[in-house]
Structure 1
C-alpha cells in the first residue's frame, strides 16, 4: 500500500474529492468495527493521501478513531494512526493533524485498561442485576444529601478522590451499561442490596470508581477529537493537555473566576438575613410533632418508610407553590447568577412558553422537602444498621406516571404545565446520552424513578435548558450580552451601534456590535453560552468561538477595504475617518460577566 501511494499522483483538492473522502469515513468505521485490519489501514491511508487535513477533520468530527466505539478495542486504531505517521512525508497534513494522530496512538495504549474496566462493570451488573440500579441510585442520592466532600489529593483508585457530580456521572454510565444488557423497567428498581453500606460496600465503591475512571477515558477521547488538546505518553502514563498553553490558562482562569464569583455571592448571602432552609423547616416540624406522622414504617412487601403527604391543594399552594424562596433556592439562584448574564432580577425568566425558572425551583423545593423529611426521620434511628437498611429501601422514589403529574398539578394548578415540566425533566433509558443531573426523572415504563436529592441539589434550571436545547428561548429576543457590551462601550466614549444589518460590497453583514474610537474600528460577535461544566459543554463553547471567528474573519476581510468602511460609516451615520485599523473580538457571556 505504501509503495503504491509513493507512485500515485495526488489529485488537486476539490468539492467532489472532499465528498469522496467524507463518504469513506463511515466505511473506515465499519472496517474498524469488524476488526478488518487490512481494509481499515488501506482506507485510512487512501483518504489521508487524497486530502489529509480534510480526512482527519472528518474522522475527528465523527469520532471514528475512538476505542469506545468498538468495545474499547484500541489495537487496530493505534495501528491505523501509526501507519499514517509512518508515511507522514507523503501526506499534506498540517502539524496539528500530525499531533492528533500521535495522540490517537498514545490514547490507544490505554484502551486495554478501559476495556478491563468495562468488563468489570458488566460483570458486577450481571451478577447483581436485580439490585444494582436501585442500590447505586440510592448511594449517589445519599452523597448529594450529605454534601459529600472529596479529596483531590487522594489516589485515582480511591473513591474519596471524586465529587458527587462525578458519582452521578458514574451512576448514569452504570444505567447506560445496564440498559445495553437488560431491559430497564419497574422491576429493575424493585429490589435493593440492603448490605450495600456494610459488608458489600466495597463492591459498589469499586463499581462506581470503575465507572468514573471509564468516563475519564471517554472524556480524554472527546478532548483530542473535539478540542485543541493532545495526548502524550511517557512510560505507563498518558497526559492530556492543551496544544496551546494560552487556551489551557484561559480554561483554568475561567473555572477559578467562576468559583470566585460563586464564593462572593455566597458571602453576600451570609451577610444578609437569609431565608430559612428546608432542613430547618423539617427539623422544626419534627420537633413540634407535625411532620413525624407523615412517615409510616411498613413491613410489606419490604420494610421501608412511606411518606403520606395529604394531596390537599391548600397545603401544596401554601408550601410548594409560593414564590417566596427558601435558603436552598436562593443558593441555587446565586449559582444560576454566575452562569446567567444579566441582572439578579432577570434570573426569573421563561424557559418555554409555559415554564419559568421559578417553576423549576418549585419542583426542586418539592423534592427537597421529600428528601429532607425521609432523612430527618432516618436520623432519629439509633441503630446504624437499621438506618442504613431503611435508607436503601426508602429514599429512592418510584412514582406512577399519573401520580407525578397530579403532584405537579397540585403545585402549579395547571395540568398542561405539569405535563410539560415533567417532560422537560424526563430521561428515557434508550437515549444516547444519560445524565441524572440533567434529566433526573427516569422513565421505566409506567413509573418514574427519582433520586430526590439529586433533583434538589443540582443546578436544574441551567441543566434543563442545556438538556432540552432551550438556550435561545431562555435568552429571549434581546441578547443581554449585546446590550451590556454596547452600554459599556458607550460609557467609555466609543461610537457604538448594536444589532446592525448592512449590505457592503454586495455582502449582507449582521453586526452584533460595531464601535469606533481613536481611528480604530471594532467588530464584536457576542456568544451567550453557559460556562462549561463538562467536556461536552466545553466542545459547544469551543464551537461557538470558532463560529464567531469565521463570521468575524469574513467581516474583517470585507471591511479591510477603505471604500467598504466608508460605506459602513455612511450607513451608520458616523462622520469619522475611514482610514482606520479594524479589530475583531468574540466576547462570551461568562467572561464578559466576570
Structure 2
C-alpha cells in the first residue's frame, strides 16, 4: 500500500455548538392534548406536573393504556418530545425527561427517534459538555427498554449516545482548559489565533493525514479555520470581544507552538461534536473497547459515499488550479502576476516599516488612477474567469443568468468579484513580504499580518471596486459583530467589527475562501433562486433530449387523487426513467451534510410514491396520455436521485441509486471513464500544464448511449462498486484525556482506480 496514492479528504468541519441550558420545563400533558381528552389522559397517565412519579409507578400505567388512542391524541405533539426532554435535562429534571421520552417511544419510536436527532437531546454539547443528568436519563431509558419494547435500532442508538456522553467529561476538561487559557491571555488571544490561521492560509498549507492528530499539520486549513471560529466564539462568550483585543498578540507563544496546541484542542472538540451529529443524523454507531470509542457508519457504503464526494470535490478544486495556469498561458492576466510586478517595482513605497507603537510592516496602495482602474475594471482576471466558470458549472446556469443575479438589489456577483480581486491583491503583497520572514523573524511577520482598519478607511478602499451604495451591503455580508446572534464562522464572515468602528481583516482567509458559496450561505439567496426553471432538472433534460424523444422536465399532475412532481422523466426505449434532482450547496460541515441527506431521503420518498402509483397499468397508461407520449407499458421503471453537490453518490437510499451530477452527465454525453496525471512545468515562456499517464475507457456499447446502457449504469452500480472497492479503511484517532475517540473512514487508492479502469475493455458495460 505504501506505493499507492491514497486520497483522503474529510473537509467536513463541524459547526459551533453553543453551550448552556434552555429555560423552561414544559409541563407534562397540559397544552398538548385536545381539549376533549386533556383531563382524562392526564389523569389516566398519573403524571401531573410539577410533582412527577417514579418510573415504577407511571410505566405500568402507561403500558396499560390503549396505544392507538394515545397515539392519535399525541400524533402532532410527538415531534416536540425531543425539545421537551432537552429542556428538562438542561435544568436537571431527569425524571421529567424520562417521562417525556418514554411517552414518545411508547407511542411511535420512529417519530420519537427523529425528534431526538433533530433537537439534539442526547448531545452533551447542548449542556456545555456536562453529562451527569444526560447519563441518568439514558440509564433509566435503557432499564425500561423491555417494557417499552424498544427496537434494535433505537437500543443501538441509545447505546451509542451513552458511549459519547461518557466521553463528555474529558471533552469538558478540554473545553474548560481552552477557556481558562483565553481568560489568562485575554489581551492577546484573539489576534494571535487569527494571525496563526491566516498564516496557514498564506503558506498554502495542505493537511497531512499521516501525521498525528496532536500535530496541527494533520488538519486542513478549513479544519483549522473551524477550530479558530470555535475559539473566537468562546472568547466572545467568556470575555466579550472589544477593539482592544485587535491590538496585541503573543508572537513568542505563536512561534513556540502554544497557539497551535490551542487550535488543535478546538479541532478535537469539533470532532467530538461532529460525532454527535453523525450518530443523531446518520445512525453512526459508537463501539467502546479498552478505552477507545470507535465511530463507524451503519454501512460502509454510507461512509464511502460521503468521503468519495469530498475527494472528488477536492480533485475538482485541484483541476481549477490547472485551469488557471492554462488561462494565463492563453494570455489572460493574473491578479497575482499584477501584484508581484507591483511589489517588485514599487516595494520601497508600498511596504513601510513602522516602529510605533510596535515594529511592524504596513502596506500602502497609492491612490492613483491606474491602480483604481485595476479594481474597477470589468475585464476579468484569470482567477475570476476560472472561478466564475465553476459557479456556472456547479449551479447549472448560463453566463447570462449569472450576470443578472444580485445578492442584494444592485449588487451583482461580478461586483463582488472585484472585492475579492482587491483582497487577493493585498494578500499577495503581504505574502511576498511576510512569508519569507516566518522562518527567521516570525514575530514581525505575525505582527504585520492582520490589518486593522478604521471603518471609513476600509470603506474608502472598497470604493475602488464598488459604487458607494454597494459598500454597506458588502460589509454586512462579510463582517461579524461580537455578541450578535447566530453561528460565527471565520470563513463565512472573516471581518470582525469592533465596537468603535475598527475592523480586523485577515486578508488571506478573506481572499482565499470559496466566496460565492459563503456569501450565498450568509445572504440566504442563491443564483438558482433567480432562474425561471429549476436548474438541475433543466440541465438533465437537455442532456437526455440529445438521445431520446420522450423527455419532460418538472412534470406535475394528479394521479388517482395524488399530486406528483417529477424533476425529470424520460421514456428511453422500453424503460421509464424517473429522476429526482437535489441541488444543495456543497456541505462544509455535518449540519449542512445532514441537510443534503434529508433532501436525498425526501427524493427517495417521492420516487417511492410515484412508483406505487405507476405500478397500476391503468394509471401508467393515463400518465403517458397526459404527457402526450404514444408509448406502451414500460418493461421496467428505473429511478435515480441526482446529487448535484456530489454527496452520497453510489449509495442506495430505500433502493434508489444516488448519482453525482457530473458522473451522470458524463455517462449520458460521453460514457468515458479516465484517470490522468497532471503536472506543472516551465516551458521557458511561463508555466504550463502537462498531461501524463492517461488511462481511458469508453463504456458505451455503441457510438451513442442506448437504453440498456443507461439501465445497467443505474441498476447495477458497477461503476460505483469499482470506486468503492478502491477505497481502503483507515482510522483517525484523537486522544481525549485517558480515552481515544476514533473515526473509522476510508481513503481512495488512486492506483487501484487506475488499475480497474485499465482492466476494462472499450465498449464494456457500466
Structure 1 residues 18-417: aligned runs within 5 Å? 18-198=75-255, 201-271=256-326, 273=329, 275-288=332-345, 290-312=346-368, 314-330=369-385, 332-333=387-388, 336=391, 339-341=394-396, 350-352=405-407, 353-378=409-434, 384-385=440-441, 388-412=442-466, 414-417=467-470
Change (3 A) 1:383 1:556: closer
Structure 2 length as normaliser, TM-score? Answer: 0.71
Alignment check: 8 A CA contact 1:67 1:108 kept: yes
1:451-496 alpha-carbon deviations (Å, 9 max, x no partner): 1000111111122112333236456223332122212322332511
**Which range moved further: 31-40 or 364-373?**
31-40
**Which range moved further: 330-339 or 505-514?**
330-339
Alignment check: 8 A CA contact 2:434 2:449 kept: no
Structure 1 residues 422-433: aligned runs within 5 Å? 422-429=475-482, 430-433=484-487
Alignment check: 8 A CA contact 1:262 1:335 kept: no
Mapped to 1, the partners of 2:531 and 2:287 lie a distance apart of 43
Change (3 A) 1:520 1:91: farther
1:254-308 alpha-carbon deviations (Å, 9 max, x no partner): 22322333344444544551645444433322332x2431232222233322333
Mapped to 2, the partners of 1:406 and 1:551 lie a distance apart of 52
Pick 1 or 2: higher relative contact order, CA cutoff 8 A, min separation 6.
2
Change (3 A) 1:472 1:460: closer
Change (3 A) 1:511 1:251: same
Change (3 A) 1:584 1:3: farther
Mapped to 1, the partners of 2:381 and 2:495 lie a distance apart of 23
Aligned: 1:507 with 2:576: no
Q: Give the counterpart of 2:544 among 489, 497, 505.
A: 489
- Deviation, structure 1 residue 140: 0.6
* SS at structure 2 position matched to 1:586: strand
Alignment check: 8 A CA contact 1:106 1:231 kept: yes
* Aligned residue-pair number: 587
Structure 1 length as normaliser, TM-score? Answer: 0.91
Match in the other structure for 1:443: 497
Mapped to 2, the partners of 1:541 and 1:92 lie a distance apart of 32
Mapped to 2, the partners of 1:380 and 1:114 lie a distance apart of 37
Change (3 A) 1:335 1:492: closer
- Deviation, structure 1 residue 580: 5.3
Match in the other structure for 2:40: none
Alignment check: 8 A CA contact 2:323 2:386 kept: no
Mapped to 2, the partners of 1:381 and 1:22 lie a distance apart of 57
Mapped to 2, the partners of 1:344 and 1:256 lie a distance apart of 27
Mapped to 2, the partners of 1:337 and 1:490 lie a distance apart of 21
- Deviation, structure 1 residue 545: 0.7
Q: CA RMSD in A?
A: 2.7
Alignment check: 8 A CA contact 1:371 1:395 kept: no
Match in the other structure for 2:31: none
* SS at structure 2 position matched to 1:170: helix
1:419-472 alpha-carbon deviations (Å, 9 max, x no partner): 222222222333331111112122233232211000111111122112333236
Alignment check: 8 A CA contact 1:499 1:511 kept: yes
**Which range moved further: 320-329 or 292-301?**
320-329
Alignment check: 8 A CA contact 1:5 1:49 kept: no
1:364-405 alpha-carbon deviations (Å, 9 max, x no partner): 2211222222332346769933xx222232221222333333
Mapped to 2, the partners of 1:505 and 1:41 lie a distance apart of 44
- Deviation, structure 1 residue 515: 1.6
1:85-117 alpha-carbon deviations (Å, 9 max, x no partner): 333233354433322212101211211121011
* SS at structure 1 position matched to 2:296: strand
Alignment check: 8 A CA contact 2:553 2:569 kept: yes
Mapped to 2, the partners of 1:381 and 1:525 lie a distance apart of 53
Alignment check: 8 A CA contact 1:321 1:362 kept: yes
Greater percentage in helix: 1
Change (3 A) 1:153 1:351: farther
Change (3 A) 1:382 1:400: closer
Match in the other structure for 1:420: 473
Q: Is there any run of 5+ residues in structure 2 with no aligned partner, and where?
A: 1-54, 646-659, 664-766
Change (3 A) 1:331 1:514: closer
Greater percentage in strand: 2
Change (3 A) 1:472 1:298: closer
Q: Is there any run of 5+ residues in structure 1 with no aligned partner, and where?
A: none
